[in-house]
Structure 1
Amino acid sequence: MACIALCLTGCDFFKIKTEDQGSSEDPVVAAVDDILLKKSDLDFVTRETTSLTDSSNLAKRYIQSWVKKQVMIREASKSVNVSQAELDKKLLDYKYALIVYEYEKEYIEKNLNREVSAGEIEQYYEQNKDNFTLKEIIVRANYIKIEKELNQNKEVQKLMASNSEGSSSQLRELAITAASNYFLEDSTWIKFDEITLNTPLADHQNKVQLLTSRKKPIIVENEGYNYYFNILEYKLQDQVPPVDFVKDEISEIIINKRKVNLAESLQNQVYKRAQDNNEFRIYE
């Protein structure tokens, strides 16, 4: 019959009952058949805690979890036929994933260059344009929401339609002093749905037609406000976005590629060093 033993006493954590259960310095705290869990095995669990009560609770939870896993393994072994070779392979894979991941992660953090130049972004963009097909409309635009009753409405409409030098700065000053909401970053590409959110255009049934046959500016209203949109440029679904819209995404892709290359480089270095030092043999 299988034997399960737990040796816990309040805040003392552990109590030893027989000499077979370990030394007094490192007592056994739980056993499932002949598999033992010792006090030293719990050091990593309680290392970061400062409260004796917290340490005791953490230790108890870990022991219960350990016992459950051991009895499940024992029970599963009765029903599941796993060869030793297959088990060894799975254990090796798990060990690799657990230990090597942390090693590679630390190595990558120390050696990774996170700076991505504009030239690198442009080159990647030109080589992979088709991978960045838009799934929604994006625009470069100016937008102002202003109360209908304000006298500045005429000036907003005039400045929105103007291409004259200085109109942008005048529009910004007017927006700061009179607008309820505005977006005047016209060099920045933004999703059309984001700039029209909470405006009458949000529910427009044919946004493509609205943009392709647009007036300058587009003016819509509701009970209390006028909404002015000056669409300077747009890209529709299935078109290729400008590089500025995807530069952050490209930068992340390039950095991730560097991470992969660093991991592969580390593996090759370790392998080559072990090979040069005759640390392994491969039998034909």
Structure 2
Amino acid sequence: MAELLFLSELRFPMISTYKNKISIGITILLLASCNYFSSESIANPIARVGESYLVLSDLNKIIPDNLSPEDSTILANNYIQDWAQQQLMLSRAKLNIPEMKQQEFEDLVKQYRADLYINAYKEGLVAKSMDKQVSHMELETYYENHKENFKLNERLVKIRYINVANDYDNINQLRAAIRRFNHEDKQLLESLAITFKSYSLNDSTWVKSSSIIQKLPKITMDNSESYLKKSHFFELSDSLGVYLVTVNEVLGRNDIAPLEYVEPTVRKIILNKRKLDFIKNLERELLDEATGNKEFEIFELKQDSKQ
């Protein structure tokens, strides 16, 4: 049976900004054995399960500098209990899981550790050395060659709208300006924008129809097609105000999304492909270099004489 030693009481009289200077008063409770661990071989031991020790430096890592002595004690004791439970479960697991299965786990752990180091190294090289600039020509070329991959799953609209109070003065002027929307109209609406409850005059940007439905009253997914039509003006009102809306352009579901709308996605695809090529070249160059300087060799297998 694994032996367990743990703190029944842990006091922190003073918290220093340097955790290795924490003063600790310890009372040790022995649960399963009368054997006491030796501090000669283990520096500042706090608890033990079998041959595994928890030391003071482990506690220092998890205790923030700004905790009160009471909170530090609670945190430390909880950590010790969790550590002891983990060690006990691990020791029981090793006793009951077949060695072959344990070896599989060890192999997975080694592979995972290797992957962590390798991936961190690759990401560092990518961040430092890979060209992350994507030209407009690259964007257009990829888009033109893969247009079918960018079909819309909902309608897009280019729209402008104004939301004003129900008693807004001279609303007819606003109606005419947002429908006609010439240079003078734009200047007028921008000068009056401070009096609007909300507005959007940028009708050159594609927006999802679902976003418009959320902003405007009385429009639903079922009736949206009767409102969101190309070159269509409509007016809506509710208890909160009046909405003057002009739809500039519309793209339907299953239409090809314009490049301006999917540009962030296309850019990400190009950079991901460039990253894969960069890493592939890196791996090939590394192998070639190691082979050239005899750091990497493949030995010819000897045939079994009995075969």
My pick for the range that moved more, 261-270 or 13-22, is 13-22
Residue 120 of structure 2 is aligned with which of 81, 102, 106? 102
After superposing the two structures, state which structure 1 stretch, 223-232 or 42-51, moved more: 42-51
State the distance in 2 between where 1:202 and 1:275 align: 67
Percent of pairs identical after alignment? 25
Cα deviation, 1:138-169, whole Å, max 9, x if unaligned, reads 11111112234334321222223326454333
CA pair 44-94 structure 1, distance change in 2 beyond 3 A: farther
Q: Secondary structure at the match of 1:197?
A: helix
**Contact (CA 8 Å) 1:49, 1:55: kept in 2 or not?**
no
The separation in 2 between residues aligned to 1:271 and 1:5, in whole angstroms, is 51
- Tell me, yes or no, if structure 1 residue 81 matches structure 2 residue 101: no
Superposition deviation, residue 91 in structure 1 = 1.8
Segments of structure 1 that go 5 or more residues without pairing to the other structure are none
Runs of at least 5 residues in structure 2 that lack an aligned partner in the other structure = 13-22, 29-34, 302-307
The CA deviation string for residues 116-153 of structure 1, in whole angstroms up to 9 with x for no partner, is 33222222222222222222221111111223433432
2:137 corresponds to which residue?
A: 119
2:253 is equivalent to residue 237 of structure 1: yes
Residue 225, structure 1, aligned to residue 259, structure 2: no
Alpha carbons 2:157, 2:228 under 8 Å: kept: no
Partner of 1:72: 89
- Per the alignment, residue 188 of structure 1 pairs with 205
Match of 2:5 in 1: 5
* TM-score of the two chains, using structure 1 as the length reference: 0.77
Match of 2:262 among 231, 236, 246: 246
- Write the deviation string for residues 182-208 of structure 1: whole angstroms up to 9, x where unpaired: 111111111223234342243363222
Compared CA separation, residues 179 and 37, structure 1 to 2 (3 A): closer
Deviates more, 1:2-11 or 1:179-188: 2-11
SS at match of 2:163: strand
Q: Is the 8 A contact 1:22 1:28 kept in 2?
A: no
For residues 78 and 290 of structure 2, the distance between their equivalents in structure 1, rounded to whole angstroms, comes to 41
Greater CA drift, 265-274 or 137-146: 265-274
Is 1:205 the counterpart of 2:222 in the alignment?
Answer: yes
Q: Give the deviation of 1:265 after TM superposition.
A: 4.5
| Partner SS, residue 152 of structure 2 | coil
Contact 1:45 1:58 in 2 (8 A): no
Please tell me whether the aligned partners of residues 2 and 33 of structure 1 are also in contact (alpha carbons under 8 angstroms).
Answer: yes
Structure having the higher helix fraction is: 1
* Structure 1 residues 237 and 216: alpha-carbon distance in aligned structure 2, compared to 1, 3 A threshold: closer
Inter-partner Cα distance in structure 1 for 2:259 and 2:231:
27
Structure 2: how far apart are the matches of 1:37 and 1:273?
Answer: 44
- 1:45-101 Cα offsets, whole Å, 9 max, x none, are 259847795887766555444433322222223333251542332121221233333
Task: Report the number of matched residues.
Answer: 280
Per-residue Cα deviation, 1:228-269 (whole angstroms, up to 9, x for no partner)? 211111112222211111222222333334444444455445
CA distance in 2, matches of 1:147, 1:52: 54
Q: Greater relative contact order: 1 or 2 (C-alpha under 8 angstroms, separation 6 or more)? A: 1
Deviates more, 1:4-13 or 1:73-82: 4-13
In structure 2, C-alpha distance between the alignment counterparts of 1:172 and 1:39, rounded to whole Å = 65
User: Equivalents in 2 of 1:100, 1:255: separation in Å?
Assistant: 20
Per the alignment, residue 143 of structure 1 pairs with 161
In structure 1, the partner of 2:48 is 31
Could you say what the CA RMSD is over the residues aligned between the two structures, in angstroms? 3.7
Give the equivalent residue in structure 2 for 1:133: 151
Distance in 2 (alpha carbons) for counterparts of 1:38 and 1:269: 45
Query: 3-state DSSP class of the match of 1:186?
Result: coil
> Could you say what secondary structure the match of 1:119 adopts?
helix
CA distance in structure 1 between the partners assigned to 2:294 and 2:44 by the alignment: 41
Matched, 1:170 2:188: yes
1:162 to 1:271, Cα distance in 2 relative to 1, 3 A = same
